[in-house]
Amino acid sequence: MKQTVQKDSSINSICIWVVEDNLRYRKTLSGLINRTSGMVCPQAFARCEDALKVLEKESPPDVIMLDIGLPGMSGIVGIEKFKLLSPKVHIVILTVYDDNDKVFNALCAGASGYLLKDSSPEKIIDSIREVLAGGAPMNMQIAHKVLEIFSSFKTKKSDYGLTEREKEILQYMVSGLTKQQIAESLFLSFHTVNTHLKKVYLKLHVNTRSGAVSKVYKENLL
Amino acid sequence: MKQTVQKDSSINSICIWVVEDNLRYRKTLSGLINRTSGMVCPQAFARCEDALKVLEKESPPDVIMLDIGLPGMSGIVGIEKFKLLSPKVHIVILTVYDDNDKVFNALCAGASGYLLKDSSPEKIIDSIREVLAGGAPMNMQIAHKVLEIFSSFKTKKSDYGLTEREKEILQYMVSGLTKQQIAESLFLSFHTVNTHLKKVYLKLHVNTRSGAVSKVYKENLL
DNA sequence: TTAAAAATGCCACGAACGTGGTATAACTTG
DNA sequence: CAAGTTATACCACGTTCGTGGCATTTTTAA
C-alpha cells in the first residue's frame, strides 16, 4: 500500500465524480480529492441531469459523491438513474439532510454510503476508500438513524386474540382463496370456514375481506 | 477525557455484561473489558436465561455484549427480553453469524450494534464507547449487509399498466370499502366502479378482492 | 371434574361480488 | 383527422360473501 511516485495521476487512480450545487463546496470537494494521491476528480456537476448526460457517453467513475438537495432532479431520484446507467458505480451521499425519510429512501435507492457535510476531509477521503473496499461508510448519527429505522419495523404484533386455526384460515384468505377453496385446502366444510371467518371479522373489527387482508399487512399480523 | 487514577474502578465506570456460551471467549472478553480503564464487567453469563434472571433483581448494566448462537433462548429473542426489562440498555451483538436474516432480525429486535467475532480487541472496546456516544458500531461487512437489506426493499414498482383512476379505486378497495361505498366516495355510479375494478382484476391477474389487496401490499403497488 | 374456549358443522337470506356483454363522451397521440 | 385510450355508464346472471342463529365435539384451564 506504499505510495509510489507517478506522473499521470489518472492512471490507476480512483476516479470520483462530484454532484453538488453549491459552487464553493463543489470546488472544495473536488480540490480535496485531486490533492489526494491515488484519487482524481475529473468531473464535477451542479445538477444530476448534467452528470447523467455525461454518463451516457463516457465511462463511469468508481465513485459518485452526491448531494441530495439539488435543483431539478433530487439526489434520491438521481441515485436510481445513475444505477440504471452504471449499476456498478458506488454512490456516496454527502448532504446536510439527516431525517429518517431521506436516509431511508437514499439507501433503498441504492446508495453505498451516507455522510453528513460536517464530516472532516479525512472522513470523506476515508469513506471513498471504504466504499471501494466493500464497506458502507456512514456518519455515527446516520448509522444510528439506520438502526432507528430498523427498530421501527418491529411492529409490536398487535394481538386481536386470533386462535391458531383462525390465523391459518385468514392466511389462506389473504392469498386470495374463496371460502370454498379454503375449505377444500384444509379438508373442512364450507360452513366451518364460514364460522371461523365470522369470528375473525369480529375480532379484527372489519366486515369485508379486503379490510381484513389490509389489516393483516398493515399491522403485520400472522 | 484524561484518565485519572482511581482505586475503585466500578465507580463512574462503564458497566458491561457479557452473554456468551463459549467459556474461553467469555473469559477473554470479560478480561479485556476489566483490563480496560473506565470499564468493568461484573457479570458474564453463558445463557440469556441466566442474565435475564439477574436483570430482574439487579440494576441493569450500560451495555450488554450478546452472542446469537446460544443454547436455549437465542440471542435474537434475548434482545427483546432484555429491552423489555431495561429499555435503555444498549445491546451490542458479537457473533460469528453474518447472514442477512440474522442481521436484520437482530437490528429489528433493537440491537444497537453488530460486530463479528473476528473483530480486534480495540474495535470491540471502541464499539462500547461508540454505542454510548449514540452511535451504531458495525463491522464493515455488516454495514454492507445493512445496505443490501435496504436495497432489497426497493421493489421495482412492478407495473401492471393501471391507470390513475384504476389505482385510485383500488386504493379505496384496499382500505376495505365495498364497490357501492367507493362509488359514493368518488361520486361515481356503481357500474363505473364495477367496470374499473374488472380491468384491475384483469391487469393484476386476480379474481377476488383479497387477491387484489394482497398483491397491492406484496408488490408495493400504488 | 367442571366450566370455558376452540373447532367443527349446518341453514337461510339479503347484500355484494365477478363476469359476460354493450355503449358513449372525452382526451390523447400519431 | 383517425385511431386508440380512458372514464363513464348500464344490464343480467350466477357465485360468493356477510350475518343471523343453532348445535356438537374436542381441547384447555380452573
Give chain A positions within 8 Å (CB) of B140: 130, 133-136
Nearest to A138 among B143, B153, B178 (CB): B143
Nearest to B178 among A109, A111, A208 (CB): A208
Please give residues of chain B from 145 to 184 whose alpha-adjacent beta carbon (CB) lies under 7 Å from any atom of strand D: 161, 163-166
> DSSP for A170-183?
HHHHHTT--HHHHH
Residue A94: phi and psi, rounded to 5, are -135, 100
C1' (D14) to CA (A190) span, angstroms: 19
Residue count of chain B, please give it: 222
pLDDT in tens, A44-103: 999 999 999 899 889 999 999 999 999 988 999 899 889 989 999 999 999 999 999 999
Eight-state DSSP code of residue A12: T
Say what the pLDDT of residue B44 is.
97
The 3 state secondary structure assigned to B89-136 is CEEEEEECCCCHHHHHHHHHHCCCEEEECCCCHHHHHHHHHHHHCCCC
Q: Would the Cβ of B197 be found within 7 angstroms of any atom in strand C?
A: yes
Place of cell 466504499: A131
The span from the first CA to the last CA of chain A, in angstroms, equals 53
**Interface touch A208/B177, C-beta < 8 Å:** yes
For the beta sheet containing A14-19, the strands, ordered from the edge strand earlier in sequence to the opposite edge, are: A39-45, A14-19, A63-66, A90-95, A113-116
Give chain B positions within 8 Å (CB) of A89: none
How far is residue B179's CA from residue A210's CA, in Å, rounded to a whole number? Answer: 11
pLDDT in tens, A141-166: 999 999 999 988 876 677 788 888 99
Residues of B with CB under 8 A from a CB of A: 104, 107-112, 130, 133-138, 140-141, 143-144, 146-147, 150-151, 153-154, 173-178, 206-214, 217
Whole-structure pTM value: 0.76
Q: Grid coordinates standing for A50?
A: 448534467
How far is residue B154's CA from residue A6's CA, in Å, rounded to a whole number? Answer: 42
Q: Grid coordinates standing for B76?
A: 435474537
Centre a 10 Å sphere on the Cβ of residue B216 and count the other Cβ atoms it contains: 23
pLDDT in tens, B72-87: 889 998 998 899 899 9
pLDDT in tens, B124-173: 999 999 999 999 999 999 999 999 999 888 766 777 888 889 999 999 99
Q: How confident is the model at residue A7 (pLDDT cuts 50, 70, 90)?
A: very low
Strand-pair partners of B120: none
Q: Would the Cβ of A87 be found within 7 angstroms of any atom in strand C?
A: no
Specify which residue's alpha carbon is closest to the C1' of nucleotide D21. A195
Rounded (10°) CA dihedral A118, A120, A125, A131: -50
Max Cα separation, chain A?
83
Q: Would the Cβ of B203 be found within 7 angstroms of any atom in strand C?
A: no
Q: Which residue of A has its CA nearest to B138?
A: A143
Pick from B102, B62, B59, B100: nearest CA to B78 = B102
Q: Which residue of B has its CA nearest to A207?
A: B176
Query: Does position A9 have pLDDT exceeding 70, yes or no?
Result: no
Phi-psi region of B200 (alpha: psi -120 to 50; beta: other; left: phi over 0): alpha
**Interface touch B208/A176, C-beta < 8 Å:** yes
Burial A121-148 (b: 16+ CB within 10 A, else e): eeebbebbebbeeebbbbbebbbbbbbe
Nearest to A140 among B104, B133, B176 (CB): B133
Long-range CB pairs of A29-37 (<8 Å, 24+ gap) are A29/A65, A29/A94, A29/A124, A32/A121, A32/A124, A32/A125, A33/A125, A33/A128, A36/A125, A37/A3, A37/A9
Q: Which residues of chain B have pLDDT under 70?
A: 1-11, 155-156
Residue A65: phi and psi, rounded to 5, are -90, 120
Say what the pLDDT of residue A161 is.
85
- Angle of the B48-57 helix axis to the B75-85 helix axis, nearest 10: 0
Kindly state the average pLDDT of the residues A176-182: 91
Q: Would the Cβ of B195 be found within 7 angstroms of any atom in strand D?
A: yes
**Average of per-residue pLDDT values in chain A:** 89
Q: Would the Cβ of A207 be found within 7 angstroms of any atom in strand C?
A: no
Size of interface A-B (CB pairs under 8 A): 114
